Structure 1
């Protein structure tokens, strides 16, 4: 009799738990019904495969439910997706959405903890972001020293391309090293040799990592227990390998800085400045300045500088090949304003409005980060009139903003002129937000813009870009999915002018 009663009680408890798992929070944004334990994860993965990407799956749901805010549950985690400009801007502007998720994927990314700058929040995030920003500026970030470093990398890149002697090359295979070395110099005080095997391995890991996960962390974040069953398929082994090699790669440089540290070097680069702060705080019991935190800060800078910027330049070169009339127009503008041997710099942007508009259109048209975030609701709040429970993960659909026909009129057309007014001045940029807005605006925006402009103009000065003669197919404007979208490998010919 007792056993029967226990079984009945357990059954009632299990049923109550399942009903609670299935229940949507009050006034939660519209979206599909979810299953116990796994939520919408199987459905969203299937939908993403059918539509060609997670961002396109979100857009399909927005149309289905006629809402710019979609409510999901991925695994055990509430996830809300903001689509279209008003909702995306609301997420950026409300302090309630300034948090970062505290899930398995985020912790695994930083070796089991929540460290670095990108994936942290609260006082810890504010303290370290302010420190990094202050010391990068002291080292010349955003000013002439940064421009000189970019110009040095441009010269090295031009020399490498000349050595190819018009041999077809995929720009994506040579650009990341040039971009990385700009930030690497500010961070460590020296550049990395292009033929360094460790660097080649690290770049490959970054590319594989980008393709293996999406902005919601992939299935590893939503169903972390699957790592015990399928560690390779979920990407768990990849992240473990990535963490190990990354730690070894950075710790060699950090250890060398510790050995060579002196007070007079603290303004030479970020690592020396950080070590000085570690020494100043070593007597404090709860200091957050550690070697592991420094490693994670470098990781954040490395990821921000190595992929999105180089991919954007890669896509810009691809469009010059696909649109020779645009390439000619940019060349004429550059030649009219710069001497052949005059290295481009940031101040030239105002004299090259069509070139600037072209780069803006590349960022709008390709939106290589179609879904940005993730954010975490720090408290119960609202978004688009819906209730958002505390600790909900919030994603933002940038593709829907950059391809909104109600604002851009003809978003599927690649047209740089949309960013120029009647007087040839840059305009219409308020809804172009590849670097985000407000307090969490991208830390590397200044570097990214300077690199994109300087590299593009410098290459236009020295080369014309063409499709290989024996190539029958044009490069594809359809990008490969991942955390960041990237072009399928293609080749172009750089012909000296």
Structure 2
């Protein structure tokens, strides 16, 4: 009899659990349907996980499919709806005309754990973010952003990069380290006051962990965000998130060492770089109760500038070598134009852009097709908002679908192919369509836009002037969807370089 009761109790428990599960699922389906009646159309979400599985299956194809739902699309990041803006007109309406409502940043537990809410990129929209961003822009301008000094630094670094690329002349090699080191040296010279040699092992290690974190962070955001939301205590347990945290701590330790050295050698009358300027600002704001200037914010701001100033531009240049080898006629036309204007030995300058319209257009087409942030950097509504008749609640994640905007058939002559003619008018002069938004727009527009433009034009032009790039015979072309994370990067590849030679 006892065994019968046990079986009956277990059956009852099993039935209760099953009915409870069915009830929860049905309730979730009902909840989703009630939401979908009030939000813009979009793909059908699954209970609890939303549309994340669709994205993980093929990220780029999924992002490309979103514009079929109209100018706005609703996705579900787990149980929470998010809005994708698929047209440049709508992106401007939200991010520019209604900037105060759409300039927030979602407090993602995983990233908050790493950044502690400090810095610029992941900081919430508010007083601290405004102070830190304003100071960073002001300081970067003072130390060369938009001035000749940055241009001179890029030109100087190009003179190191070209021979570094030619060290393996005629042999397949991976150009990633050389490119990443060269680009990173520009922001390092502004932030730390110095550059690093390409064979500096400690700096090479730092660049590697930076790249590793950027690649992994996208996957973590997709796979672990919901776990961290529900169970923040997971940070105390083993897992791949621990490697991401450790990498971030190592970068911060490197920055703190630099800050210590700067503090010991600081000359208040002659600041050398961003760190010096920040240390002086801490002293200046010391008696201001409203100040957000302190060492933790400084370390994260430097980290943000270092990360943003290294990987995005380096990734774009890595895409450029793929596009240029896939389209050798474009590479040759650029080289001929550059040599006609500059010869082989005069380094390019930003003043040469008007004289090099095809090369200038090619650099922009590389950015358009490289599309390194396919859905833009996520925003969040800071207050209830209205957009095209829809009520958008406070705390809604908002994405700018740069993939759709950069390939809109109404705005581009050749939306689906690599063709610099997209940036040339009928007279062969350079022009920039309004749908060219690789740096986003609004108050959260990329902090280093001016720096990135200078680097991309000068580095790519210098490389095309002196080097012919080709694909290794028989080597497989990389998947052009790339590796989609926070930044969309190409798969690792080898390239062959041949010197164009000096013809003085």
TM-score over 0.5 (shorter chain): yes
Residues 1:88 and 2:91 are matched in the alignment: yes
CA shift for structure 1 position 426: 1.4
Rounded Cα–Cα distance in structure 2 between residues aligned with 1:440 and 1:201? 30
What secondary structure sits across from 1:407 in the alignment? coil
Q: Equivalent residue for 1:421?
A: 425
The alignment's TM-score, normalised by the length of structure 1, stands at: 0.88
Q: Do the aligned partners of 1:102 and 1:114 also contact (CA within 8 Å) in 2?
A: no
CA shift for structure 1 position 30: 2.7
Q: Do the aligned partners of 2:365 and 2:418 also contact (CA within 8 Å) in 1?
A: yes
Residues 231 and 430 of structure 1: CA distance in aligned 2, closer, same or farther (over 3 Å) = farther
Deviations, residues 67-111 of structure 1 (Å, cap 9, x unaligned): 33222442454422222323222232122101111231341231x
Residues 1:490 and 2:497 are matched in the alignment: no
Q: Do the aligned partners of 1:77 and 1:222 also contact (CA within 8 Å) in 2?
A: no
CA shift for structure 1 position 475: 4.7
Deviations, residues 291-323 of structure 1 (Å, cap 9, x unaligned): 111111111111211111111111212222121
Rounded Cα–Cα distance in structure 2 between residues aligned with 1:189 and 1:307? 19
Rounded Cα–Cα distance in structure 2 between residues aligned with 1:488 and 1:149? 29
Residues 131 and 166 of structure 1: CA distance in aligned 2, closer, same or farther (over 3 Å) = same
What secondary structure sits across from 1:309 in the alignment? helix
CA shift for structure 1 position 287: 2.6
Residues 1:157 and 2:161 are matched in the alignment: yes
Q: Do the aligned partners of 1:100 and 1:119 also contact (CA within 8 Å) in 2?
A: yes
CA shift for structure 1 position 364: 1.2
Rounded Cα–Cα distance in structure 2 between residues aligned with 1:334 and 1:472? 29
Residues 1:258 and 2:258 are matched in the alignment: no
Q: Equivalent residue for 1:341?
A: 345
The within-5 A match list for 1:102-141 is 102-110=107-115, 112-141=116-145
Deviations, residues 262-286 of structure 1 (Å, cap 9, x unaligned): 21232x2110010001111223345
Rounded Cα–Cα distance in structure 1 between residues aligned with 2:238 and 2:67? 29
Q: RMSD between aligned alpha carbons?
A: 2.8
Residues 1:24 and 2:35 are matched in the alignment: yes
The within-5 A match list for 1:279-358 is 279-358=283-362
Q: Do the aligned partners of 1:479 and 1:487 also contact (CA within 8 Å) in 2?
A: yes
Rounded Cα–Cα distance in structure 2 between residues aligned with 1:34 and 1:412? 29
Q: Equivalent residue for 2:71?
A: 68
Rounded Cα–Cα distance in structure 1 between residues aligned with 2:92 and 2:240? 32
Q: Equivalent residue for 2:61?
A: 56
The alignment's TM-score, normalised by the length of structure 2, stands at: 0.87
What secondary structure sits across from 2:318 in the alignment? helix
Rounded Cα–Cα distance in structure 2 between residues aligned with 1:215 and 1:372? 16
Residues 1:47 and 2:54 are matched in the alignment: yes
Question: Gapped runs of 5+ residues in structure 1?
Answer: 1-10
What secondary structure sits across from 1:414 in the alignment? coil
Rounded Cα–Cα distance in structure 2 between residues aligned with 1:136 and 1:387? 39
Deviations, residues 220-277 of structure 1 (Å, cap 9, x unaligned): 32331467669899742132112211111111101111111121232x2110010001
Residues 1:180 and 2:180 are matched in the alignment: no
Q: Do the aligned partners of 1:104 and 1:221 also contact (CA within 8 Å) in 2?
A: yes
Rounded Cα–Cα distance in structure 1 between residues aligned with 2:489 and 2:463? 21
What secondary structure sits across from 1:81 in the alignment? strand
What secondary structure sits across from 1:24 in the alignment? helix
Residues 231 and 421 of structure 1: CA distance in aligned 2, closer, same or farther (over 3 Å) = farther
Residues 1:442 and 2:446 are matched in the alignment: yes
Residues 1:245 and 2:254 are matched in the alignment: no
Rounded Cα–Cα distance in structure 2 between residues aligned with 1:24 and 1:173? 47
